[in-house]
Amino acid sequence: MKDSHQRQMKLSQLRILVAVADRENFSEAALQLEMSQSAVSHAIATLEDHLGVVLFLRGRHGAHLTPVGQRIVEHAREIVHRAEEITKEAELAKGLQGGQVRIASFRSVATHILPLVITQFHQRFPAIAVSLTEHDDYPHVEQALREGRADIGFTFLPASEDLETWEVLRDEFVALFPPSFQPQAEQLSWADLANLPLIMPPVDNVMMQMVYAHARQFDCFLKVTYEVETDATIVNLVAQGLGATVLPRLAAEPIPPGIQVYSLPVPLMRIIGVAVLSNQLQTPAVFAFLDILKRQKHT
């Protein structure tokens, strides 16, 4: 009777099984795996002997999976994938025993997106320090990346070609009106916006340029009565009945009770992304932070 340990399948056999299945040829699989063809053939024969089934039909035109082989190779792929993930986790952990991640962001992302991500990152990698710097707008964030003052930055997409980016969130611009506002129709019109005093960020604000340009496409020229720097102050002035505003929803949060919120007559979105310098080698800590961020569902 064979020893049970000797009869166990080996991960190396499963890797070879997947390679032969993909290549449909023992010689090509051997080249891919940097093994001799006899070693590949021996591994498959040993696996077939262990399982008691034929995995491949061999012939002059290569090696093709049998029906049972097709089913088994799918399980093998999953096992090989899981093994690779285990190795990645171990390698990641070995590179995450210290260091830091420097993040540059604008306020709305720093307030509403990053706290949960940073908390989860700290729970998983408590030895990694995280520093967060808030900037007034996204050009300052991109500048911090280029000057080496940040590893990760949050910006708007599309971004410059020197940045590698991933989309994080689509944030709708919304119109906020005081509690007493009564629209002229069931749906908000550009006239509703044009006829009320507007409380807006300064006219040179990069984000607001998107709003003004969008409105002009529909012959709506927004008249600003109050210019205010801080989003929270703008929202509170709207709540007091001094006028209306247009802000990204994320920037407007938290919206006080009573304020009326409308989509623009023609919706407008800003696409928020996370960025790193494309030509810079990133640390394991940066990759780990990005991985946690990408796993989050942001709405």
Residue 281: Cβ within 10 Å count: 6
Neighbour count for residue 143 (Cβ, 10 Å) = 14
Rounded to whole angstroms, how far apart are CA atoms 220 and 192? 10
Q: Work out the end-to-end distance of the chain between its first and last CA atoms, rounded to an integer number of angstroms.
A: 60
CA–CA gap between residue 299 and residue 296 (Å, rounded): 10
Q: 27: which 2 tokens? A: 């010689």
Query: pLDDT digit string (tens) for 118-137?
Result: 999 999 888 899 999 999 88
Residue written as tokens 């070693």? 39
Question: Would you say the CATH fold of 171-269 matches that of 100-169+272-295?
Answer: yes
- At 4 the pLDDT is 43
Residue 127: per-residue pLDDT: 86
Ranges of each domain in the chain: 11-94, 100-169+272-295, 171-269
> Taking the domain 11-94, which CATH number applies?
1.10.10.10
Q: CATH says 100-169+272-295 is which class?
A: alpha beta
Residue ranges for the chain with pLDDT beneath 50:
1-5
- Give the pLDDT score at 231: 94
Tens of pLDDT, residue by residue over 39-89, are: 999 999 999 999 999 999 998 888 999 999 999 999 999 999 999 888 877
47 exposed, middle or buried (CB, 10 Å; 0-12, 13-18, 19+)? buried
For 262, the 3-state DSSP assignment is strand
Q: Is 265 helix (H, G, I), strand (E, B) or coil?
A: coil
pLDDT of residue 182: 86
- Angle in degrees, 0-180, between the axes of helices 114-124 and 284-295, rounded to the nearest 10: 130
Count other C-beta atoms under 10 Å from residue 158's C-beta: 10
pTM for the complete prediction? 0.67
Q: What pLDDT, on a 0 to 100 scale, did the predictor assign at position 5?
A: 44
Q: Residue 179 has what DSSP assignment?
A: T
| C-alpha span between 237 and 232 (Å, rounded) | 9
Write the CATH number of the domain with boundaries 171-269.
3.40.190.10
Structure tokens at 180: 């007493």
Nearest to 286 by CA among 158, 144, 153: 153
| Placement of tokens 């994938």 in the chain | 81
